[in-house]
Every structure is written in C-alpha cells, then in structure tokens.
C-alpha cells in the first residue's frame, strides 16, 4: 500500500470531496454551495493515500492576485495526528508559492482550539478578532502568513 501522500490540483469538485465534507466537516456545505463554485476563482487541492481521498483544501484567489483565501481544509479524522496534515500543508504552500502567491489568510472560529493550534504550527498568526462573524454569533480569528 502506498504510504506516501499524493497532492493533486483538481479541475472540478469531485463527489468524493463533497462526501468527505458532508461526513466530517463541522459545518458542511450544501451540494448547491459546492456546485456553485467557480473553478476560475476556487482552487481545490486533494491529498490521497493509496487510492483513498484523505484530505482536501479549498482556496479562493484570482489569476494575478497575490493572496489566497483558505475557505476549507480537512484531513479525515482517522488520519489526524499521523503527520498527513503537515505533509499536505507543505505541498499546498509549495504549490501556492509556485503560483506566484505571496500570502494566505483565513477565518477560524475563535473557539476552535484544535484548528487554531494546527494553523499556528503551519506558520499562520492571528491578526485580529471579528466579533459575531459567523451566522451563529461565534467570533472569528483572522489569521495570515507570508509564503
């Protein structure tokens, strides 16, 4: 069995990614939200082990832009803590750098300590807090990093 993760840039939004999102993401998107994405500005990266999809990351940026907005990232909970998240993140950073992007930013629920810890390990830092950012009233931390 292949134990080395494979990074791939997707040209579409495969059903397997949507299924992973529906199964494991704390606030999964609807099928309509996924199907409404534009491949011209929404860039999907996947991470597979063998033939199994174990992660995805969805960014938004336009050609000529220098900043990528991380919309969603997920590693299958069965693979969390295995180092796959860090390997996937390394591949993401390398790809974004090679695409002439200079920075990444994201929003994360201020109460999501696990995600904040992961992003911190990846090199992102908090630049501000947005009160009641999410529809449920939760605050968001805005985090960023230079590539």
Which position has the token pair 């992003």? Answer: 119
d(CA 52, CA 138): 34
User: What's the confidence (pLDDT) of residue 33?
Assistant: 94
Q: What is the pLDDT of residues 17-33, one digit of tens each?
A: 999 999 999 889 999 99
Q: What is the pLDDT of residues 92-127, one digit of tens each?
A: 999 999 999 999 999 999 999 999 999 999 999 999
Residue 132 CA to chain centroid, in angstroms? 22
Is residue 64 over pLDDT 90?
Answer: no
Residue 87 CA to chain centroid, in angstroms? 13
What predicted TM-score, i.e. pTM, was given to this entire model? Answer: 0.92
16 SS3 class: helix
58 SS3 class: strand
């Amino acid at each position: 069995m292949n134990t080395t993760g494979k990074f791939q840039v997707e040209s579409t939004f495969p059903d397997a990614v949507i299924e992973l999102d529906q199964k494991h993401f704390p606030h999964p998107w609807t099928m309509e939200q996924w199907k409404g994405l534009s491949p011209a500005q929404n860039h999907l990266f996947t991470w597979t082990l063998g033939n199994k999809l174990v992660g995805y990351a969805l960014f938004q940026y336009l050609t000529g832009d220098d900043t990528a907005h991380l919309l969603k990232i997920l590693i299958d909970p069965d693979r969390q803590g295995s180092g796959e998240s860090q390997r996937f993140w390394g591949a993401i950073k390398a790809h974004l750098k090679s695409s002439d992007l200079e920075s990444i930013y994201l929003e994360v629920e201020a109460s999501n300590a696990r995600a904040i810890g992961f992003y911190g390990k990846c090199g992102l830092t908090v630049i501000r807090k947005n009160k009641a950012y999410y529809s449920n009233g939760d605050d968001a931390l805005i985090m960023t990093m230079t590539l």
